[in-house]
A and B are shown apart, each in its own frame.
Chain A
Amino acid sequence: MLSNLGIFSIVLTLLISFLLVYNSTILFKKNNQILLQKIINLSLSQLFFSILCFILLIYGYVSSDFSLINVFQNSHTSKPLFFKIAGTWGNHEGSLLLWINILVIFSYFFLIKGKNYNINFRLITLIIQNFLIIGFLLFLLITSNPFVPIYPVPSEGLGLNPILQDPALAIHPPLLYVGFVGSSIYFSAAIASLMTNFKGKEFANSIKTWVLISWVFQSLGIIVGSIWAYYELGWGGFWFWDPVENASLMPWFVITALMHSVIVLEKRNTIYSWVIILCLLTFILSVTGTFLVRSGILNSVHTFASDPSRGLYILIYLSIMVVGSFLAFFKYQQKEIYNFSLKSKETFVLVNNWFMLFFLITVILGTLYPIFLEVLIQKKISVGPPFYNILIIPIVIPFLIFMAIGPKISWIKHNSVKIWPIIYLLILATILNFIIIYFFGSYSILTNLIIISAIFLIINTLIDLKNSFAKKGDSSFSRIISHLGFAFLIFFIGINNHFSLEKDFNLKVGDKVKFENYKLDFKDLSIKERKNHKAIIGNFIFLNKMTGVEEKLFPEIRIYDQPKTLTYEASIKTKLSHDVYLTMSNIERSDYYNIKFQKKNFMIWIWLSAFIITIGGFLRLFKKN
């Protein structure tokens, strides 16, 4: 029953999408108000039916309707309600349906919000967006239908991977998808803009809110994913340069570049072609990321839903998209005259883009190079964190410096850049840096430079903040907040990376170890039966001999039945100055346990700084124009 209803609504949504393309094409030729209203109604019903598909699937999960293979494979009656719902998008089919929903939602709102824009521009955007929707709907129907029935109906489901049963991971995919898929709308709009000659400031105005929305959500999605990895994967890290993480970072670099460039287009009516390229690239990279993750090409901790047979479809889809969009670009693009001075805000925005593209190229190369090498010369290499750290960290230093100076430069032409204040501030930053180094007692040139440039950016941005308060109605407030968040993020990551303590022990119950000023005592083990798993809980006491502070830590090994899995639960004590992080895992064929102890400085400040970056985005979103 549910199966039929679901498939029916998918097919109906598909049908409406075709109708939308057909009607828009007609309207494009002859302007007609009644037809426009019809298109808006069609778009609304498309929205209705695609959301209905999703609600039906959620209903299937909530009611544990195992007549659907998808529910049977990914759910279980004993799962808490929250995770039943979140389970809907915790698998390939469901998440694809969510993906389509977001395509449709953005399509509808772009159509109705853009009343003031050229009608042809809106129509072409709608047509292209619906081509994208049709492509994904066919993908859903052909390879990944979530409503495939199973007979006889099983009485119990197989359950959801326990490490996915986590609040952060439940909201991570929707956030990320709004970010990724949201970029589809300015992909469509960019092509429409080329075709209808709707460009310049107007075009910038039509897309800037959408760019901002998708940027905010993408950033939030990445942060939440990172937080999840920190406390769930149990390695104490928050960024692993894992291929799947990289796949989510690639569009982020481009969208960040775009967010800056679109302001130049809006204010100065220049670099139009470049903005178009960034618009196209953001969504292309989003789909590329999905292809890499879903096809199972990448070897990663995050690959929970991969299937090589689906890879081919996305690859074909992606190729059509890339070739189509770039043909359109070269056919319609016009030569532009760039007219700006070296000392202008425009230049610094380009400098931002320049660095963003460097980060992008490094990450793409690091992620894809091993795949190419394996295909070309049958050689398997790994590209991991050391590679990215060596290549990227040194470049972050000038990036931060430019980021501090850029916003102070005015549009068009800045008469004189005063050198002395910059030098004073650099000296001040250096002094502060050495105070910090003295305080923590460690030394590395690269870390010093990172911290110096981060402090330099912090001071500069704080000065901007002060000036912004002095001026009433200043528009740069949201930018300042985001930049400040970024500066603090790099600052705390620098300190965290360099001054954290990490120890690896193999201990038996009753063992005690001493290191530096600390003592770790493995008291005993206990076993607990919980609702959907058993837990082996270690009882540890961690003593700081300097301060005399004692802390109890309880890392767990969890044994899940549905499906049969072992997970390791870290015990984390968060304080303002540092996190104490302890994981325990069994070593097979021995009575030893592998204990990882980490003292990580200022962890909570890293998350906070990252959130502040997105708060800047939100502020801009809600600011009156």
Chain B
Amino acid sequence: MKILIIILSLSLISQKVNSQVDNQFQMNIYKNIRCLVCQGQSIADSNSDFAQTIKLVIDDKIKEGKNEDEIYEFLISKYGEWIVYRPELKKTNFFLWFFPYIALLLGGILILSLFRKKNLKNKK
């Protein structure tokens, strides 16, 4: 019952709440921001206090005319890299970003080399 009251009652401290998310641009940013108090949700998916607050912060930044990267930079400076779902392209993350493609390339070379060896043998 208690929870019910909390949910339904209009608490004295009414929050400032934005009424609408208009565009895909905002939504894409929301989806890239981790809700730090949740278990593996983005703020687009969460309804926690934290998510609501960060959404407001992002909306404000957009109004200030900041672009996507500037907003991420701002949030990272406050909360650390943990908050963005798309890891930054920088030295410590190079391996993460490039190794799969390197592996793909090596795999391709490996398969091709199987035939090259065979062709050499055939020529002999």
Q: Do A and B bind each other?
A: yes
Interface of B is mostly: helix
Chain A residues near B39: list those with CB within 8 A: 299-301, 303
A323 within 8 A of B: no
B74 within 8 A of A: no
Chain B residues near A369: list those with CB within 8 A: 95-96
Query: Would you call A300 and B40 a contact (CB within 8 A)?
Result: yes
Query: Would you call B15 and A361 a contact (CB within 8 A)?
Result: no
Query: Nearest A residue to B42 by beta-carbon distance?
Result: A384
Q: Mark A557-569, 1 if CB is under 8 A from B, else 0.
A: 1010000101010
Chain B residues near A362: list those with CB within 8 A: 100
CB distance from B115 to the nearest CB of A (A): 5
Chain B residues near A536: list those with CB within 8 A: 4, 7-8
Partner of B41, one of A301, A338, A387: A301
A385 within 8 A of B: yes
Chain A residues near B11: list those with CB within 8 A: 588-590
CB distance from B35 to the nearest CB of A (A): 11
State whether A381 and B93 are in contact (beta carbons under 8 Å apart), knowing that A354-B107, A505-B19, A590-B17 are contacts in the complex: yes
A391 to B104, CA, bound (A): 11
State whether A347 and B111 are in contact (beta carbons under 8 Å apart), knowing that A358-B104, A504-B44 are contacts in the complex: yes
A366 within 8 A of B: yes
B65 within 8 A of A: no
Query: Would you call B85 and A383 a contact (CB within 8 A)?
Result: yes
A-contacting residues, B4-56, CB 8 Å: 4, 6-8, 10-11, 13-15, 17-21, 24, 27, 30-32, 34, 38-42, 44-45, 47, 49, 52
Q: Indicate the size class of the contact surface on chain A.
A: 35 or more
B-contacting residues, A489-545, CB 8 Å: 502-507, 513, 525, 527, 534, 536
Query: Would you call A585 and B96 a contact (CB within 8 A)?
Result: no
A591 to B85, CA, bound (A): 31
Query: Would you call A357 and B81 a contact (CB within 8 A)?
Result: no
Query: Would you call A381 and B81 a contact (CB within 8 A)?
Result: yes
A386 within 8 A of B: yes
Partner of A382, one of B17, B84, B103: B84
Query: Nearest B residue to A363 by beta-carbon distance?
Result: B100
A237 to B85, CA, bound (A): 16
Can you report 22 A-B residue pairs in the complex whose CB atoms are below 8 A from each other? Answer: A242-B40, A301-B38, A338-B117, A339-B118, A354-B107, A357-B103, A357-B107, A361-B100, A380-B82, A381-B81, A384-B32, A384-B34, A386-B85, A566-B3, A568-B47, A586-B47, A587-B49, A589-B11, A589-B13, A590-B15, A591-B14, A592-B15
7 additional contacts (CB under 8 A) given A301-B39, A373-B92, A590-B10: A235-B44, A300-B39, A362-B100, A380-B80, A504-B20, A507-B19, A559-B4
Chain A: residues with CB nearer than 8 A to chain B? 235, 237, 240, 242-243, 299-303, 338-342, 347, 350-351, 354, 357-358, 361-362, 365-366, 369, 373, 377, 379-387, 390-391, 395, 502-507, 513, 525, 527, 534, 536, 557, 559, 564, 566, 568, 585-592, 594
